[in-house]
A and B are shown apart, each in its own frame.
Chain A
């Protein structure tokens, strides 16, 4: 009997000790290296920073972007031999999940690419895990390098209640917008021209369907592609200002407005009328873009990141356009924005070096290298632009919408739980399991709950 009592005593003591060691509020404690050092001169010359290693986590894993990042890192190391770059690159999904853990690590990365949006960047800013970059922006002149509308995407108030204004928390490099790709050959065969108005576009969908072709190639099994479809339609009926409030999760807008409701009804009607590829809700995004490249489908609602793949597959047959205006004089608006920006973690021991690195990979020379590689940087977009074809159209579109300040955020950015809410709601809407009214009510519920309480 006695040995048994001793065992339970041992277990109790060990358990108690472990419980005591864990008995602190999770997540407590400010990160070290808080950016409140005032009076310290900002060092902008990496050569004077001594020997150090910068750990960079980025998500530029696609072919051309990857190559340019490697080239830029090598160039930086060559120019400043005292600094070593330790690059960790992951696919977007992996980066999102891993970054959530890495930013809380006191020995974690220095430069990171958080996903824009309240679930990720907003949450990081609120927890004080990202460093404000205003003094570096002043030192390096970033506010002159980028248009204000682009920089605003990385501006947050320090409690992350406001997005779009406040301190600068990231610097963007690439650009993207969602538009409509069209297959010129199939349009010609049906005697149609690329639509000039939204009404024309919707009429063409009917004609294409009647002719037995697939109007819009689409695949939504991963749940997020539908956000682009809805966002594109929404930008026809809802003013850009409201979409920005909703997408940035700022107070003052309403998902149950007429415009949003009309957009939801339209999307559901398109699904019911069979304008999307058959079996779209069981098809992957990759499959749908591959099928489109094989000529299956006249239109594809997607972003400029697909340009290289589509041009490779369809050559001169593919064209790109921003969503056509719903009424005459409607301003240029479409979902999009700067791609993931580069931020500095609050835990970083080398913020000056990190800022210098970010400046290096976003300067004019870097932008030109990206353009030459066929990627779409924010500046110097036209430095290597092809003179015709979809490539030229994409660049013209990006320039036009950036100049007009017409990009609106993706809606899943709006609250910490919106990605979940909207992806599920969109699948239900497309499958007619929920009415457009209930759909907008669900989104409104999430948005109102967040903007009212400030918690997701």
Chain B
């Protein structure tokens, strides 16, 4: 039985002229070759490396699945995932919430300078992450702008060496991610809200819905697709973070800001444990894959009801 699909999907139904021809594979072959050489082959080699204890230089020693077992057993391989989870909160949850609320508010009463705000809020996305990290590193410096500001408003007791504080270094890095991500979520939600038919809002208003009710009943359900896109992008960004950590804290103080991708670098280049790095990289890839899958599944399921 054909499932009822939303009107948007009409465009994605197959409407190719003629019957499928095997020559299509020939067209795909060049790209598949490039894809295999630069993505699949390295991935397979990575799995192979993960089965050895190797320092990258001398001959390797076979250890089987020991590196994968260490992902669950070794503190140094487990802790980074905990930190990544915290970063997901800052890189994903906060920007999504703030972007959503901002977009909802702004689309109710159009701003005259909307174009200007859109550009300015989106700017952090355009700047290279390394530059962003370097700039924020000086903001967070003990004599940097943030502490200066706190002193100026009389909040001296709140000043601290942010990137050197065991408790605040990770949230401080998280805020960098929030700053970068909010623009993206805002723009995407703004675009999504613009596509919602006005009639739905009018119907809701006739039924006596206030702005909050409208938001939860009309706006949010219609943004399911944008929500899944934004969540996928920001969660992946959070889990992939390397350059921010490398530029700001190098995983310090102690190991309080080590995230999986940085631990991969540490394992491979500083500790000479390429096998452990490979296993961790595969674990991270699997995690990202699973999370993206889950997010899109939730969005898809919501759409069909």
Using a CB–CB distance below 8 Å, which chain A residues touch chain B? 14-15, 18-19, 22-23, 25-28, 96-97, 100-101, 103-104, 119, 123-124, 126-129, 220-223, 277-284, 287, 291, 416-417, 419-420, 423-424, 427-428, 431, 433, 456
Contacts and interface: CB of A to CB of B under 8 A. Distances in A.
A417 B271 contact: yes
B114 to A, nearest CB: 38
B7 interface: no
Interface in B154-196: 160-166, 169
Contacts of A101: 56
B44 A280 contact: no
B36 A18 contact: yes
Nearest to A283: B142
B289 interface: no
Given A23-B48, A279-B160, A420-B271, A104 B57 contact: yes
Contact of B254 (A15, A18, A96, A424): A424
Given A18-B44, A428-B254, A123 B58 contact: yes
B270 A26 contact: no
B41 interface: yes
B59 interface: yes
Contacts of A280: 142, 161, 164
30 contacts: A15-B40, A18-B36, A18-B41, A26-B52, A26-B54, A28-B59, A28-B60, A100-B56, A100-B57, A123-B58, A126-B58, A220-B164, A221-B163, A221-B164, A221-B248, A223-B252, A278-B161, A279-B142, A279-B147, A279-B164, A282-B160, A282-B165, A283-B164, A284-B141, A287-B141, A291-B143, A416-B271, A428-B253, A428-B254, A433-B254
B252 A123 contact: no
Interface of B: 36, 40-41, 44-45, 48-49, 52, 54-60, 62, 137, 140-143, 147, 160-166, 169, 248-250, 252-255, 266, 269-272, 274
A417 B270 CA distance: 7
Contacts of B143: 279, 283, 287, 291
Contacts of A28: 59-60
From B36, B141, B266, name the one whose CB has the most chain A CB atoms within 10 angstroms.
B141
A123 B140 contact: no
Nearest to A97: B269
Given A14-B36, A22-B45, A23-B48, A123 B60 contact: no
The 7 closest A-B CB pairs, nearest first, are A282-B161, A279-B142, A281-B164, A282-B164, A279-B161, A127-B57, A127-B58
B33 to A, nearest CB: 10
A129 B57 contact: yes
Given A104-B57, A124-B57, A282-B161, A25 B52 contact: yes
Contact of B59 (A25, A282, A419): A25
A282 B141 contact: yes
